[in-house]
Amino acid sequence: MTQAAYKPSARASSQHATGCTCSHCGLTVPKGMVDAMRKQQFCCMACESAYEVIHGCGLDAYYRLRDKAAAEQRQAKPTDAQRLSAFDSDKFHELYVRRLDDGLCATDLLLEGVHCAACVWLIEKLPRVVPGVIEARLSLREATVRIVWDPQRAELSQIAKALGTLGYAAHPARGGDKRGVHLAEQRAMLVRLGVAGALAGNTMLLAFALYTGMFGGMEQRYAEFFRWISVGLGVLSLAWPGRVFFQGAWAALRTRSPHLDVPIALALGVGGVAGAVNVVVGRGDIYFDSLTVLVFLLLVGRFIQYRQQRRADDAVGLLFSLTPSHCRRVVHSTDGDADGESIESVPVEALGLGDLIEVRSGELLPADGVVVQGQASVIAALITGESRPVPIAVGDRVCAGARLAGATLRVRVSAVGEASRVGKLMALVQRGMSEKPPIIALTDRVAGWFVCAVSFIALVVFVAWSVSDVALAVDHTVALLIVACPCALGLATPLGLAVAMGRSARRDILIKSAAALDRLSKPGRLLIDKTGTVTRGAMRVEAWQGDMALQPLIAEAERHATHPIARAIVEAYGDQELAAAQRAMLCDIRVDRCGVSARLGQGQLRIGSRLYLLEKGIAIEVSHGKQVSDWSGLGCTTVYVAIDDRVVAMIAVGDAVHEDAKASIDQLRRWGWEVSMLTGDERAVAMQVGQAIGLDASAIAAGVSPEQKLEVVTSRLGDERAVVMVGDGVNDAAALASADVGVSVSGGAEASMAAADVYLARPGLSGLVELIATARNSRCVIRRCLCVSFSYNALAVALAAAGLINPLVAAVLMPASSALVLGLAMHGQRRPRQDLETQGATR
């Protein structure tokens, strides 16, 4: 999606401005496309056809709405016809389409580029664009659309194509089962919330009457009646929505791990039983108003936290939909004709052993296999961490998940799914996740000794009062146990965490578990993957020095070479227009081992490595040396361009280190983190990158296999200091899953995103710094909440021990303390950036 966002600006700057903007996307229309005869102008064919569809269906209101929403305008993007055909395959229907009772079909599609109200309007008008679509409902937050259509009248591929024409590339929404579970869970929580709220409200009303009666006097039969109804509502509240606290406490006791649910369940249990007994006996206080409100408020806090967590989890899950799930299978027709083969698009799940598949340049290999036709290079950065491409030819084995570069290959499938190398790594991930010790959050740890302290005080109070009156001692002890419930804390912690997670999500940091924030707040050991995490993860042109006019010429010459460096240059400069006269000057292009040479008019153009130029007897001036060493410091290789015997330009190509990497790592070290780098790449490359980000040789482990990464992580676990793994590839997934906290970074493999606790949806390491700043900040907030909450508890316990508490005092104290702590939790959160600045200013 980032690429899509960058593209328009690149276009706009590369083409000459004509002062005319595209009627659909608002970009400048290139000179050649301007048609003076028309009112509407378009920057490309795709925008024109998008406009035609929208206008033709009488949906021009879209442009009005969009202008009102002042949203970013986007270019139309046609969807690849190959990919579309997959939408109609049987396997696709089996996987993603539900049949409704009335013969209609329904499916969820993830759309790219949904962002504003106008999108909702346009997409939900889909029934007018494609006849046969009955209904389209967009969920703006998830960017998914639920489509109900009549299979007799429309094919799904037509629908996907129409969406693509409008500018929303459609993908099947994967991870549906998980989202279904989340949805069911959210509904269950809402039900509990509603019930708890209704019961609390009604119990409060009764309590008002009872309190008034306390002062003004009340006939005994009414008081009795009110108390009986209170107990009914209260017990219902404890037994239905309140059950979660008893279940949580029971689970905590069974596993002998402290949990905040234990003191809560203690208060609820004691209060409920004592209140019920008092009503039956007809004397003493009842606390059901406080108890029901307590249940309600705690559930509110948990619900909000759950929503934030689910939001992050779903967002990451939906990203999987963007990874290709289809591949091309070569099918031989049955009539024995030699030319009778065709290519069909099938879902990856439908691949079988021995199938012949075609993989094109730039695509990911869908399965393990042996090359039977073609010659190319594979970049296995996501699987092994090796950033440099490896050449492969017929007979070589290739792994699923590697990216193909250079040419089209035909591969005979030798292993699919769980049997492939990636599949085996995924099994390790599963194991890592199940064996990972649960993180005990700060509040839960505190809850452990809190229970002990309260029980001890309760015992002392009971003994002290029972000297004079046993019945009175029971009353005071019950009151103490109820008011000692850490309700403010139980409410404030989830809310504080939810606020932190929500703020992070807006800054592209998706936190899937709140416990991860707790672990990240104290300095620990940070293990960083190199390729794709510290570096960008792909070969590309990083810098250019020399005459810009040469760029299209060089791209033209490099078009003939298949080396990844050549491809990176073509990618960078290949779309610039080359004048016909210039093209004519370029002839006799020859591709050598380390370079390309061509005749350029009267001169000889040579593009290649230092070695190549030296071989040809071209001297490289000393003045270039400084630039080259700067570039190699960033991990780049320099490509020289010479005309005759003079170097005229230099290009830095490489898997460059992110600009923010060094600053980020320095900041983390200042906070006391121990940073080291783990990479599957060669030692030399690793050292170069290590130097660029300021790591010592001792902190770098190179040539590490995925299994070894896992070993390194597990060997460091079990210590006070948290082990945090940051990575992007399949090779990091197992390590991410077993580390205390796994952080997966933008552009990473599906496996690593699923295994990690946090997903940084933007490139670079600055997100990591922000994440840790947020964690530190939220720890401060939680500490503050702890202090206030415990001061309240201490006060309430002291009052109860002295026998001065009654239900009215408790009913006033509890919401007051909750409100105070809530205020702290919500407003105590500083924005991460401000936090960073203040941190910097104090140093």
Partner 1 sequence: MTVLFIVLPIALVLAAAGLAAFLWAVRQGQYDDLDTPPYRMIFDDDEPALHKTQQRSSP
Site of interaction with partner 1 (CB under 8 A): 61, 65, 100, 106, 117, 120-121, 124-125, 127-128, 134-135, 137-142, 146, 148, 183, 186-187, 190-191, 194-195, 198, 201-202, 219, 222, 225, 229
Question: Of the two residues 121 and 246, which places its CB atom closer to partner 1 in the complex?
Answer: 121
Q: At 205, give phi and psi (nearest 5°).
A: -60, -45
User: Considering beta carbons, is residue 235 or 649 the nearer one to partner 1?
Assistant: 235
d(CA 276, CA 242): 16
Q: Which two tokens stand for residue 694?
A: 């300021």
- Tell the smallest beta-carbon distance from residue 834 to partner 1 (Å): 27
C-beta closer to partner 1: residue 315 or 780: 315
CA distances from 676 to 394, 528, 529, 695 (A): 39, 6, 9, 7
How near is the Cβ of 79 to partner 1 at its closest, in Å?
A: 23
Query: 649-672 burial, b if ≥16 CB within 10 A, otherwise e?
Result: bbbbbbbbbbebbbbbbebbeeee
- Radius of gyration for the alpha carbons in the chain, expressed in angstroms and rounded: 33
Q: Which residues in 368-502 belong to E strands, given as ranges?
A: 368-373, 376-379, 390-392, 397-398, 403-405, 409-415
Is the Cβ of residue 148 or residue 372 nearer to partner 1 in the bound state?
A: 148
| Nearest distance, CB of residue 238 and partner 1, angstroms | 17
> Is the separation of the CB atoms in 289 and 811 below 8 Å?
yes
- Indicate the angle between helix axes 661-670 and 766-801, nearest 10 degrees: 30
Least distance (Å) from partner 1 to the CB of residue 152?
17
> To which H or E segment does residue 773 belong?
helix 766-801
What is the smallest separation between the CB atom of 154 and partner 1, expressed in angstroms? 14
Which one, 204 or 661, has the nearer CB to partner 1? 204
| 726 vs 460: CA distance, rounded Å | 50
Q: What is the 3-state secondary structure (H, E, C) of 531-580?
A: HHHHECCCCEEEEEEECHHHHHHHHHHHCCCCCHHHHHHHHHHCCCCCCH
Question: Which of residues 218 and 826 has its CB atom nearest to partner 1 in the complex?
Answer: 218
Find where tokens 């008011």 sit: 483
Cα gap 337→328, rounded to integer Å: 20
Concatenate the DSSP letters of all residues of 278-336 into one string: HHHHT-S---HHHHHHHHHHHHHHHHHHHHHHHHHHHHHHHHGGGS--EEEEEEE-TT-
Element housing 598 (H / E): strand 595-600
The CB-of-199 to partner 1 minimum distance in angstroms stands at 9
Nearer to partner 1, 183 or 427 (CB): 183
We find the least distance from the C-beta atom of residue 56 to partner 1, in angstroms, to be: 15
Q: How far is the CB of 146 from partner 1 (least distance, A)?
A: 6
DSSP 283-294: -S---HHHHHHH
DSSP string, 41-103: --SSHHHHHHHHHHHHTT-THHHHHHHHHTPPP----PPPHHHHHGGGSHHHHHHH-EE-TTS
Chain centroid to CA 837: how far? 26
Closest to partner 1 by CB, 125 vs 716, is 125
Query: Would the CA dihedral through 257, 258, 263, 264 be positive or negative?
Result: negative
Q: Of 87 and 226, which CB lies nearer to partner 1 in the complex structure?
A: 226
- Least separation in angstroms between residue 135's CB and partner 1 is 6
- Between residues 55 and 137, which has the closer beta carbon with respect to partner 1? 137
Q: Could you tell me what percentage of the chain is helix, strand and coil, using 3-state DSSP and rounding each to the nearest 5?
A: 55, 15, 30
Q: To which H or E segment does residue 470 belong?
A: helix 470-483
Q: Which is nearer to partner 1, 138 or 805 (CB)?
A: 138
CB of 117 to partner 1, least distance (A): 4
User: Could you tell me the smallest distance in angstroms from the CB atom of residue 198 to partner 1?
Assistant: 4
Complex with partner 1: residue 190 or 370, whichever CB lies closer: 190
CB 190, min distance to partner 1, A: 5
The least CB distance from residue 137 to partner 1, in Å, is: 5
Planar angle of CA 528, 531, 532, nearest 5 degrees: 90
Per DSSP, the three-state class of 674 is strand
Q: Please say which residue, 197 or 747, places its beta carbon nearer to partner 1.
A: 197
Please answer whether residues 263 and 447 qualify as being in contact, where contact means their C-beta atoms are separated by less than 8 angstroms: yes
